[in-house]
Structure 1
């Protein structure tokens, strides 16, 4: 019989994470060569241009989730990217042109995403945000064939191997390998201990599971898997199975709408063991739900390619201040940092293309792949020179801290576990 408390908690999670947004699109001209105004950011004489670029404007696409399971991430990322490019435009733009974002909400619906991608492709110079491992996987051949730089808000290693698609940080499998290494050390797990893994039946979950399986084998742990649908909200069956198996920790690879019920249901079931989740599975709005907040404070650990946005680093304190001023009342979460980072990566590619005199989609891809050591002022330096490798293998560990606006504090600085060094990434492409 299903737990009424678990069902109520799931409903509360769904309600509190419900977010919506509007989207727009437009058309542009074909190849041309223009001369940007003197003094424009990154300008260097005549510049070859193509899709999405005119003498005064650079159009960049975003395919996001503003109303589906990753809506909290989508809204924060979209806002942060808009903030970055607003600041760039206020400084004169790039190559004497203003950057305009064309935003579409696919609601994590692959069919809708394909239609929206068709509307955008050929009309933008690239895509600075594409949420969802399943969505990117569906579109990756089209993206590569059409040659437009695309930065997913998704980090499976199965997206490696395409020159046009840039996974922007440590991949899910490597990140969870690092996380399991930390979990084993801090939770005093011993060889033979059982660890549960609840993961979504999609590219995200599968890639994370590959890393968890490797890490468990290397550590001598027994992995007890529970596969769930990305739309599931009742976690009673999964938690019951893991409790019966006697797991001493749980790994979760799912959305915030599922991590919340997992925490509450495990607490109610008396399965009060450490839980390790990816940063895309946490949102501070979950801390407004009493049945979830207490469990998260006590037991949740979060793997992340970047530190907590509330870390005392000048770049991050400025970002928090700027974001709060631009979007008063909006949550400060890790999605803000992820979005700003991705926009900065795309912005650097545009600047490099301008310097090279080629603002065509192909020119932007080429400029991006020449960037082998990008320092954003936080986290590890990023190397984008090889499509076959993630730009970083390092992971931070965060812990719930309600005193922080993001709900997270950094408890372990960036590190790469020995197991991550010996792990073989799935075949690229």
Structure 2
């Protein structure tokens, strides 16, 4: 059983400098004597990424974006008079490999800035809870809510899908009585999203035709043909980027002139250099609880410029850039609230004091006071455009549909 604690709420202010005043050296030293990963000059945080498996492109991008944020934070003075440092391990999207990597690196770090993948998180949850650690996640599964040790940033997969189907109906792309195909990954990502599409379908008078796939599937012709036979009017996809590209290309070749709406992890910039690019540009949109790196706003432009300065070319996974950048800023803010108790329990307690974290233009307001609730129910629909940085642009503002507000998330609490 994963426990949830209710802690006192305090108003949280976003400060990009993240230099925290009022933390005495004596208090810090007393509070961190036994804290792994904390010295007088450094706070070490763990990063467990897929750098060699099906989400390797996303994982590499996440790591690079985390380093952009760490560089900014450290240049502004760090956190609690210390510099942040990352300790990274590759799990290849293999839960067993992730457990071994966690066991090896855990004595070196205060907590975990980022862990990629729902199956990996599931394998590590008991260990993280037993050691009272705080772990930021690169997954949006609502089934991971209800645990104060885990940070799910933004709208969850199910809520994103609910907002997306509501958007398609409001745009006139779908109407009551229509069938919608949903191609989804085996495991928490796909099943969580499918839960959302079924909820929305029940409210909107739609019929969901599901097609489950494995992360290693490369040719989705049979799934698309099945949806064509079912005469679907739209396709929702939760998959790897290459799988989403396969869906778009096969659907176009089959003469299916229907909208294709992908989940947050279904696009990679390199797809615009493949034969699937025309199909993606014409039919594909992406749902996200995060803003677009190519958006025309000050925050996006600043982050894009920082990325260009450090890495040159556009990132493979722009959503991974925004998410990792925001997660690093958020984790630093949490650390800043625990300067007088830089221990694992101290950091864990500070988590729920963050009630209004936001990066205008990149992230809507986030409230972490209740671990059982999503930090936000807002999402944004993004379109493909070769002319913008990283290939995606916002098609509107962040929004939370009435259905998303009504929906009750499953949680582990």
CA contact (8 A) 2:18 2:336 kept: no
Partner of 2:116: 131
Tell me whether 1:114 sits opposite 2:99 in the alignment: yes
Tell me whether 1:83 sits opposite 2:80 in the alignment: no
Match for 2:184 among 199, 220, 228?
199
Partner of 1:377: 360
Tell me whether 1:163 sits opposite 2:148 in the alignment: yes
**Structure 1 segments unaligned to the other structure (5+ residues):** 1-38
Q: Distance in 1 between matches of 2:257 and 2:116?
A: 32
Shift of 1:122: 3.1
Partner of 2:10: none
Tell me whether 1:331 sits opposite 2:304 in the alignment: no
Q: Deviations over 1:395-423 (max 9, x none)?
A: 11111111111211111211111111221
What is the correspondence of 1:248-327 to structure 2 with a 5 Å cutoff?
248-290=233-275, 292-327=276-311
Using CA pairs below 8 Å that are at least 6 residues apart, which structure has the higher relative contact order? 2
Partner of 2:342: 359
Q: Deviations over 1:144-175 (max 9, x none)?
A: 22111101100000000111101011000011
CA contact (8 A) 2:65 2:322 kept: yes
Q: Distance in 1 between matches of 2:263 and 2:242?
A: 13
Shift of 1:70: 1.2
Tell me whether 1:410 sits opposite 2:394 in the alignment: yes
CA contact (8 A) 1:252 1:276 kept: yes
Q: Distance in 2 between matches of 1:223 and 1:40?
A: 46
Q: In terms of mean alpha carbon deviation, does 229-238 or 327-336 score higher? A: 327-336
Q: Secondary structure at the match of 2:150?
A: coil
CA gap 1:233/1:56 in 2 versus in 1, 3 angstroms: same
Tell me whether 1:142 sits opposite 2:120 in the alignment: no
- TM-score, with structure 1 as normaliser: 0.88
Q: Secondary structure at the match of 1:196?
A: strand
Q: Distance in 1 between matches of 2:381 and 2:152?
A: 20
- TM-score, with structure 2 as normaliser: 0.91
Aligned residues: 388
**Structure 2 segments unaligned to the other structure (5+ residues):** 1-16
Q: Distance in 1 between matches of 2:122 and 2:241?
A: 21
What is the correspondence of 1:56-67 to structure 2 with a 5 Å cutoff?
56-67=41-52
Partner of 1:9: none
Q: Secondary structure at the match of 2:152?
A: coil
CA contact (8 A) 1:202 1:230 kept: no
Q: Secondary structure at the match of 2:337?
A: helix
CA contact (8 A) 2:179 2:207 kept: yes
Q: Distance in 2 between matches of 1:301 and 1:79?
A: 25
Tell me whether 1:42 sits opposite 2:27 in the alignment: no
Q: Distance in 1 between matches of 2:192 and 2:69?
A: 30
Partner of 2:85: 100
Q: Distance in 1 between matches of 2:384 and 2:62?
A: 21
Q: CA-atom RMSD, angstroms?
A: 1.5
Partner of 1:13: none
Q: Secondary structure at the match of 2:348?
A: helix
Q: Secondary structure at the match of 2:366?
A: coil
Tell me whether 1:387 sits opposite 2:371 in the alignment: yes
Shift of 1:311: 1.6
